[in-house]
Amino acid sequence: MPYKSPFLLVDGVIYLKKHIFIKSFKKIKKNDFFLRRHFINNYAYPGVLMLEIFHQTSLILLYESKKFNYKNKMFYLAKINFAKFFFPVSYKDCIICNVTMFRKVLNSYIFHGKIIVNKKVACLSSFICILK
């Protein structure tokens, strides 16, 4: 992954089916940089970072599927078709991120993502990433 801490937001991969689906996780800790700076005295995980978890998880899916070599190219989040947040995510929570590759058109990839926390859907999104 071309990311370093604090912007590496995926702790690990639970399951991967090449070219189709990936399940990753992120364990949120109280001392995470973003929690301490987002809302003072309210440890809500920023929604935009949940969208970034989708992006990083989709990058892992493509890299592990041997779709491209990230050393030579960059993978950009080009468009968020929709994003819906159902409840705040806090520290001590473990984010489970499911991403499915829906379609590939030229150098664009369309994904659908779902974040689950405590067996409940916390976020849904459809997004497009582009390879340049």
- Mean per-residue pLDDT for 10-15? 95
Mean confidence (pLDDT) of the chain: 87
| Residue with tokens 């899916």, as numbered in its chain | 61
pLDDT of residue 32: 76
pLDDT band at 56 (very low <50, low <70, confident <90, very high): very high
**Residue 9, φ and ψ in degrees, nearest 5:** -105, 5
- Mean per-residue pLDDT for 117-123? 97
- Mean per-residue pLDDT for 82-110? 93
Residue type, 99: V
pLDDT of residue 5: 64
Q: How many CA atoms lie within 13 A of 72 on its CB side?
A: 4
Tokens for 8?
A: 């590496």
Q: Which helix (H) or strand (E) holds 37?
A: helix 33-38
The closest alpha carbon to 34, from 45, 25, 48, belongs to 45
Between 8 and 12, residue with greater pLDDT? 12
pLDDT of residue 127: 96
Tokens for 98?
A: 């499911």
